[in-house]
């Protein structure tokens, strides 16, 4: 049966952030404080200024601008804000800022007193319903975090990645404003767009895919790939920004129901150990994983058509062409990975919840072959 569910109110389009004050008014948060978690200079945005003047001292602001948030950083944000009586978290930023915002909502309901306790709690998924709602305002077009119910938290010390993951933690609303994307440098804009394309492709072939998620995924890929040239020519182009904003949102809605598969699973140690930006890592894996999966999937043709290619080999050429024009290395060797590191990367690339959602079973040998092909 085709079951699809996503409860997030979405507002997409130029100027969407302008609706924030009315949205908060409508939600009428119960706690005393509105925690505004932000990155960059967004406190100066007129809608944020209007919100601050309406709610006065009830607004508390915190800056969080790091990428790939880790357990220590999350604990620090939690420590800084845990004593406030928070009724709403508003997260304005990239996927990392949104992930920290939604994680805090969970932690306020399940207190911890040390990084070690936090690590234990999220590793064992020992948390209650979120203590308060959150609103997501993405400033990149890629992660889809504004419409998913999980957050990625890294643990470089233990070489692990956690997912703070509960269906109760969908956002109250997402404001997806393409006008916020115009300050992204080319490399970040392309990496984010390819992350969205990977979410959509993986959602399409995921074991958990359904009729609605497939339709959302194909349209997301058409939008992202159909405007890639425009983005490469000018990452500030209003047309490209709007298309990437729509595509990323649709991809997020698609994989909010299906999760990701082999590309994301295999990419995590590449990002953790070698610093390959997430979107670059997952997109390098798209073609070899498509070659693996599409033989098993009966309806691979619409997927390749949406990418504008005839098959997996052409997809690989297209992705590496885009990555190199954005200034990224396109082989694992160029990222500093040596052949002898591949077997352990292959073992660690098989992660629960992602690898087992892939339509073709992943073994260390299969992953090793994929990584060797990218060397």
Nearer to Fe ion, 99 or 195 (CB): 195
Q: How far is the CB of 144 from Fe ion (least distance, A)?
A: 8
Please give the residues from 309 up to 348 whose contact with Fe ion meets the rule CB under 5 A: none
Q: How far is the CB of 199 from Fe ion (least distance, A)?
A: 6
The interface region with Fe ion, picked from 191-199, 203-211, 246-254, 294-302 by CB under 5 A, is 191-199
Closest-CA residue to 110 (of 123, 124, 127): 127
The interface region with Fe ion, picked from 54-62, 114-122, 187-195, 221-229 by CB under 5 A, is 187-195
- In SS3 terms, 114-183 reads as CHHHHHHHHHCCCCCCCCCCEEEEECCCCCCHHHCCEEEEEECCCCEEEEEECHHHCCCEEEECHHHCCC
177 interacts with Fe ion by CB under 5 A: no
The interface region with Fe ion, picked from 65-73, 194-202, 285-293, 320-328 by CB under 5 A, is 194-202
The interface region with Fe ion, picked from 39-47, 188-196, 237-245, 318-326 by CB under 5 A, is 188-196
Q: How far is the CB of 262 from Fe ion (least distance, A)?
A: 13
Nearer to Fe ion, 47 or 249 (CB): 249
Query: Dihedrals φ, ψ of 153, to 5°?
Result: -125, 130
Q: How far is the CB of 35 from Fe ion (least distance, A)?
A: 25
Nearer to Fe ion, 81 or 143 (CB): 143
Bridge partners of residue 12, in order along the sequence: 176
Q: How far is the CB of 110 from Fe ion (least distance, A)?
A: 26
Please, are residues 152 and 161 in contact by the beta-carbon 8 Å criterion? Answer: yes
Nearest-CB residue to Fe ion? Answer: 195
195 interacts with Fe ion by CB under 5 A: yes
Terminal C-alpha separation, the chain: 41
Q: How far is the CB of 242 from Fe ion (least distance, A)?
A: 21
The interface region with Fe ion, picked from 3-11, 67-75, 189-197, 203-211 by CB under 5 A, is 189-197
99 interacts with Fe ion by CB under 5 A: no
**Which residue in this structure is represented by tokens 């992350």?**
195
101 in helix, strand or coil?
Answer: helix
Distances (CA, A) of 48 to 29, 150, 273, 344, 374: 17, 25, 37, 46, 44
Please, are residues 283 and 197 in contact by the beta-carbon 8 Å criterion? Answer: yes
Nearer to Fe ion, 177 or 195 (CB): 195
- The footprint of Fe ion (CB under 5 A) covers 195
């Amino acid at each position: 049966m085709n079951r699809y569910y996503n409860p997030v109110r979405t507002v997409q389009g130029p100027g969407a952030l302008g609706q924030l004050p009315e949205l908060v008014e409508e939600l009428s948060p119960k706690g005393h404080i509105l925690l505004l978690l932000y990155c960059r200079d967004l406190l100066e945005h007129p809608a944020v200024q209007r919100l601050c003047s309406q709610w006065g001292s009830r607004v508390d602001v915190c800056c969080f601008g790091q990428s790939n948030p880790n357990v220590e950083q999350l604990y620090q944000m939690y420590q800084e804000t845990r004593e406030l009586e928070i009724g709403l978290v508003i997260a304005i930023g990239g996927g990392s800022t949104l992930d920290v915002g939604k994680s805090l909502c969970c932690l306020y309901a399940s207190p911890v007193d040390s990084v070690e306790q936090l690590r234990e709690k999220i590793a064992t998924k020992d948390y209650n319903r979120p203590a308060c709602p959150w609103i997501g305002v993405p400033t990149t077009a890629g992660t889809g975090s504004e419409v998913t119910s999980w957050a990625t938290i890294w643990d470089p010390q233990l070489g692990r990645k956690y997912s703070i993951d509960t269906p109760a933690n969908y956002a109250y609303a997402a404001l997806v404003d393409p006008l916020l994307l115009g300050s992204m440098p080319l490399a970040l804009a392309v990496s984010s767009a390819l992350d969205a394309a990977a979410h959509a492709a993986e959602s399409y072939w995921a074991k958990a895919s359904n009729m609605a998620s497939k339709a959302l995924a194909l349209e997301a890929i058409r939008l992202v790939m159909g405007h890639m040239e425009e983005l490469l020519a000018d990452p500030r182009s209003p047309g490209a920004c709007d298309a990437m904003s729509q595509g990323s949102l649709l991809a997020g809605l698609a994989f909010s129901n299906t999760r990701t598969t082999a590309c994301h699973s295999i990419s995590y140690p590449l990002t953790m150990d070698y610093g390959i930006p997430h979107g670059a890592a997952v997109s390098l894996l798209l073609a070899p994983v498509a070659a693996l999966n599409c033989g098993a999937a009966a309806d691979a043709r619409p997927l390749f058509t949406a990418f504008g290619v005839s098959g997996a080999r052409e997809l690989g050429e297209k992705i590496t062409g885009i990555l190199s024009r954005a200034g990224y290395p396109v082989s694992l060797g160029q990222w500093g990975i040596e052949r002898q590191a591949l077997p352990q990367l292959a073992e660690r690339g098989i992660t629960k919840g992602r690898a087992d959602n892939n339509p073709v079973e992943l073994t260390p040998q299969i992953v090793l072959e994929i990584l060797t092909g990218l060397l």
